[in-house]
Structure 1
Amino acid sequence: RKADLPLDAWPKDLTPSTALRQWFAHDPVRWDEFRKRYLAELAEQQETARALLTQAAGSPLILLYAAHDQEHNGALVLRDFLQALVKSPPMRPEP
């Protein structure tokens, strides 16, 4: 149970939206589209993601997921998104 875990953070804004999770329904056929849509959602949360990375301060992050499918789950998309953020400079708004 989530309540039993010694968590430092649970950034809900970095999880897939309820609508997206329900649409995906862990159907591997929908994986590519799920990944695309989830990455679009994450792109709107770059500030939250960067704050999480700053809070981790170079320590390992453990991403939890409840899906039985180890190859098609949101944690994999989030991992890839976070790794890409580490490699890229922060986006600045255009004047």
Structure 2
Amino acid sequence: MDKFFSNRLFDVLRKRILLVSDFICYVIKTKRVYEPPSPEDGCRVLVDRLWPRGLGKNRAAVDVWLKEVAPSGSLRKWFGHKPERWEEFKRRFFMELSRQPDGVRKLLELEEKHGTVSLLYSAKDTVHNNATALKEYIEQMKKG
């Protein structure tokens, strides 16, 4: 009787584990690199081409620096963090990203490995920045 019960319990638990694993969420967040790190950040990925001013490597707590998914220097300078250029910036940035499949693939692999990935950026504007645009690009890509 005990053996039957333990085998039955094992089967039930195994089925529940498989069911739960089908619903594991992958999350991409954005966060200013100057904000303190937290466990909820998951894998912290810096997505700026230049290292943030005045920020030491220890304080930044960056796990991965993916320069290849940052906007080109010329696009970054053209944008100049002007909100009125946001839509055109995204259009141009998405074109650049489409030519950088290896960088985007690395980011997706990090998401799959860690579950949660925080895209770190140094811009002061929390809405109009390359990390927000990159997150939007990835979400559109996943939808097909």
Say whether the fold is shared (TM-score over 0.5).
yes
Which structure: larger Rg?
A: 2
Structure 1 counterpart of 2:132, one-letter code: L
**Counterpart-to-counterpart distance in 2, 1:2 and 1:15:** 20
Q: Which 5+ residue runs of structure 1 have no aligned equivalent?
A: 89-95
Q: Give the equivalent residue in structure 1 for 2:108.
A: 53
Say if 1:85 and 1:2 are closer, same or farther in 2 by CA, change over 3 A: farther
SS in 1 for 2:76: helix
Q: Give the equivalent residue in structure 2 for 1:75.
A: 131
Which fold has the larger relative contact order, with Cα–Cα distance below 8 Å and residues 6 or more apart in sequence? 2
**Counterpart-to-counterpart distance in 2, 1:55 and 1:71:** 23
Superposition TM-score, scaled by structure 1 size: 0.80
Runs of at least 4 residues of structure 1 off by over 6 A? none
Q: Give the equivalent residue in structure 2 for 1:23.
A: 78
Q: Which 5+ residue runs of structure 2 have no aligned equivalent?
A: 1-54
**What is the CA distance between 1:18 and its match in structure 2?**
0.7
How many residues end up aligned between the 2 structures?
88
Percent of residue pairs identical: 36
Q: Which structure's residues are more often strand, by fraction?
A: 2
RMSD: 1.7
**Counterpart-to-counterpart distance in 2, 1:56 and 1:69:** 24
2:58 paired with 1:6 = no
**Counterpart-to-counterpart distance in 2, 1:18 and 1:67:** 14
**What is the CA distance between 1:3 and its match in structure 2?**
1.6
Q: Is 2:69–2:100's contact at 8 Å kept on the other side of the alignment?
A: yes
